[in-house]
Amino acid sequence: MVKVLIVDDSAFMRNTLSGMISSDPEIQVVGVARDGIEAIEKVIQLKPDIVTMDVEMPRMNGIEALKLIMEKNPVPVLMVSSLTMESAKVTLDALDLGAVDFIPKNLSDLSINIVKIKEILIEKIKSIARRGPAQFRKSAFPKQRLQMPRTDYTSHRKINIVAIGSSTGGPKALQNIISKLPKDFPVPIVIAQHMPASFTGPFAERLNQLSDIEVKEAENGEPVRKGVVFIAPGGGHMSLIRKKITETVIAVSEERKDLIYRPSVDVLMLSVVENFAGHVLGVILTGLGNDGLKGMKEIKNKGGRTIAESEKTCVVYGMPKAVVEAGVADKIVPVDEVAGEIINSV
């Protein structure tokens, strides 16, 4: 049984989250707290497996409570965040401090239906709780250029682009990887990280500040360029379109509303293969579900190379597991080794 503590100053949110979470027989809401001070007391008293933490609360806010919990009684924490630009920055701070992921506060505003939201939330809670508290302690990723020992891939074609997909736990994993890449990285990098529209811009800015390589939120119609990391905007899907023999541009669309995860890793990767054939390096990182499996299969089928993050460093071993079990991962490596593998592949 997974024990959950809900922390929120809104009675409506406490009741809504409690109702959604308690609908699963394997999850028990062991308590609620109305502010950060109560949260700290109840983490000690109730020993939950996972905590949902509101950001804005009286007496002590969620960030201050998170700091103290991670210092004294580490436990996986899911931040409950409003879908605003300002909230995005605070939530990204929380991820740096040790929070494992976030869930949206304004559930009714999301483009996916409430049943799917509940399914994703429950699966996320169960998957994260299984990892235990040690996985989620605050960790600093040193910024350095890496050289890994070269090993063989099944393909020896020249790599002309890197495509990366990630979800739950992805922001930390991407920070680890992108901050280690050199400024003169010789090919473009395109990334689909499951995030709301208001989060991807601040996330790209933060990665850009922490990295030597240029990182930006992708814009519709702009050409992909070597030495630039393009983060797919949230809320829709990013794909690549060949305009000329020498120019490939980014297309951002809100079509394909049938897809649960946005931006979709599969949509991005399949379009990359269409334009770069066997000269693609595909990387799949921590995340729930199997988004990216079709794309990674196609990269492999067309003669490209593939890397999956290993289970031991994944926050949720879902997306990489799907790729590994399908037999399409050339390399399975911990997140700390992914940057080195990318550098040595190009």
Q: Report d(CA 217, CA 58) in Å as an integer.
A: 34
Residue 345 backbone dihedrals phi, psi, to 5 degrees: -90, -15
Is-contact 28 34, C-beta < 8 A? no
The stretch 247-251 carries a mean pLDDT of 93
**Residues annotated catalytic, as ranges:** 167, 194, 291
CATH of domain 161-345: 3.40.50.180
Structure tokens at 301: 């089928």
The stretch 293-312 carries a mean pLDDT of 96
| Two domains, one topology: 2-136 and 161-345 | yes
Domain ranges of the chain: 2-136, 161-345
- Count CA atoms within 13 Å of residue 294 on its CB side: 10
Q: Report d(CA 216, CA 208) in Å as an integer.
A: 7
Closest CA to 163 of 252, 53, 238, 56: 238
Q: Report d(CA 65, CA 37) in Å as an integer.
A: 7
Supply the pLDDT for residue 245: 76
Greater confidence, 235 or 110? 235
pTM: 0.88
The stretch 106-130 carries a mean pLDDT of 73
Structure tokens at 329: 């991962």
- Tens of pLDDT along 316-327? 999 999 999 999
Compute the C-alpha angle 323/171/93, nearest 5°.
160
Closest CA to 339 of 226, 179, 187: 179
| pLDDT exceeds cutoff 70 at 110 | no
- Tens of pLDDT along 268-302? 999 999 999 999 999 999 999 999 999 999 999 99
C-alpha torsion sign, points 317, 181, 94, 115 = negative
Supply the pLDDT for residue 318: 94
> Is the bond preceding 142 in cis, omega lying within 30 degrees of 0?
no
The stretch 105-123 carries a mean pLDDT of 68
CATH 3.40.50.2300 matches 2-136: yes
| pLDDT exceeds cutoff 80 at 263 | yes
